[in-house]
Amino acid sequence: MNHPLPEGPDARYAEHLAAGRLCVQRCKGCERHIFYPRLLCPHCHGEDLDWVGVSGKGTVYATTVIRRRPEQGPPYNLCLVELDEGFRMPSRVEGVEPETVRVGMAVTARITQQDGADIVVFDPS
């Protein structure tokens, strides 16, 4: 079954990731960064949104370890990262044991692929 290509802000976000760029929306009205991609600013309800590159640097805001049955693979980290630009992004920290990820840990974004899609993960800084 063919799935239609995503449209709107989600498609634009995916295009940036596919090009190797971590870009999010920024409201021209209140100048705040926005994530998840949307049509209106959640802060001031403005409609004039730009796409801007971000540093990818941030800190772990919240974290947990997802444990699976051994045949399903090893445990992994699931976290919420607060980026230096002031927004939070759900993801995971890679390159360390899931149990060692801590709130306040400095991390840096990296674009990788999972199941054929470009996604953002984080590495310890």
The pTM score is: 0.89
Segment 94-100 mean pLDDT: 96
What is the architecture of the domain spanning 55-125?
A: Beta Barrel (2.40)
Q: Is the Cβ–Cβ distance between 22 and 85 less than 8 Å?
A: no
pLDDT confidence band for 63 (50 / 70 / 90): very high
**CA 36 to chain CA mean position, Å:** 8
Task: Tell me the pLDDT tens digit for each residue of 34-60.
Answer: 999 999 999 999 999 999 999 999 999
- Show me where the domains of the chain are located: 1-54, 55-125
